[in-house]
Amino acid sequence: MNKEKQGTYKDIFITTKQAIENESSNLESVKPSNLESVNNETEKLVNLGVKIPARDRNYWNGKAAAAGLSMKSIIIESLTEKLGKPE
Provide the residue ranges of all domains of the chain, joining segments of one domain with +: 3-83
With cut-offs at 50, 70 and 90, classify the pLDDT of residue 40.
Answer: low
- On whether the CB atoms of residues 57 and 10 are closer than 8 A, the answer is no
Share of the chain above pLDDT 90, in %: 45
Residue 65 pLDDT greater than 90, yes or no: yes
Q: Model-level pTM? A: 0.50
Considering only CA atoms, which of 57, 40, 37 is closest in space to residue 49? 57
Q: Provide the 10 A C-beta neighbour count for residue 65.
A: 21
Residue 51 pLDDT greater than 90, yes or no: yes
- On whether the CB atoms of residues 14 and 61 are closer than 8 A, the answer is no
User: What backbone torsions phi and psi does residue 86 show, to the nearest 5 degrees?
Assistant: -70, 150
Give 19 or 28, the one with higher predicted confidence.
19
Residue 49 pLDDT greater than 60, yes or no: yes
- CA–CA gap between residue 52 and residue 49 (Å, rounded): 9
